[in-house]
Amino acid sequence: MKRLKLGVLISGRGSNLQALITACAESEFPAEIVLVISNKPDAKGLEHATAAGITTEVVEHGDYADRESFDREVDARLRSASVELVCLAGFMRLLSTWFTDSWHDRVINIHPSLLPAFKGIDAHAQALAAGVRLSGCTVHIVRPEMDAGPILVQAAVPVLPGDTEDDLSARILAVEHRCYPLAVRLLAENRVRIDGDHAIVEGDTYTEGYLINPARE
């Protein structure tokens, strides 16, 4: 089986990176991680990659004059590792239009809300402030605008009375770890067609019912 070569960009904890590492460890999973790049030398996620025997590199954005020269360095390293799909996993840098154009439809991101609601870094706080009863996560193809682009996978979870940001974040993170490997699988199996702002998933059948909150009597 030919496996899609992934490059994962991180800035911190790396739990989504770990979810991808775990998925890729399955012999029938159609992708492999060939490189992990962090823009922060102390990112915890680097330890997950090293423990799994994956090559890691640090590209510190402070060492580059501007956003595009940093992006060009990241691009060069991804290309020299023959990366085919770039996965942003808690990567806290906006990518330049130059980068997203040169990797068109080949960069994906995971965000802890049901986009297009609650873009930006404080998605959980925004969801709590808005009083929504359902939130969740989104894996999408990256476009130059922040947290925008064709949606590949979403999962919803309830927002419960008294939830703190940490409570909601933990509940959403559990489904992030299922959604990111699923999105990678769909792309690796060539089951996604991008049509303008939409991602069409081949064989997309949903049979599980629905989520309602508060629960009915």
**Residues in the site for ligand GRF, rule: CB under 6 A?**
12-16, 45, 89-90, 110-112, 137, 173, 176
Q: Which CB atom, from 72 or from 117, has the smaller least distance to ligand GRF?
A: 117
The least distance separating ligand GRF from the CB of residue 217, rounded to whole angstroms, comes to: 34
The question of whether 48 is a catalytic residue gets the answer no
Comparing every residue's Cβ against ligand GRF, the nearest one is 90
The least distance separating ligand GRF from the CB of residue 87, rounded to whole angstroms, comes to: 10
Pick the closest to residue 193 from 152, 154, 155, 153 (CA basis).
152
**What distance in Å separates the CA atoms of residue 161 and residue 112, rounded to the nearest whole number?**
19
Main-chain dihedrals φ then ψ at residue 107, nearest 5 degrees = -130, 130
The least distance separating ligand GRF from the CB of residue 66, rounded to whole angstroms, comes to: 23
Q: Which CB atom, from 12 or from 149, has the smaller least distance to ligand GRF?
A: 12
Q: Which CB atom, from 125 or from 173, has the smaller least distance to ligand GRF?
A: 173
Helices 165-188 and 123-130, axial angle in degrees (round to 10): 120
Catalytic residue among 48, 104, 111, 198: 111
Q: Which CB atom, from 121 or from 200, has the smaller least distance to ligand GRF?
A: 121
The least distance separating ligand GRF from the CB of residue 4, rounded to whole angstroms, comes to: 20
**What distance in Å separates the CA atoms of residue 177 and residue 18, rounded to the nearest whole number?**
8
Q: Which residues are catalytic?
A: 111
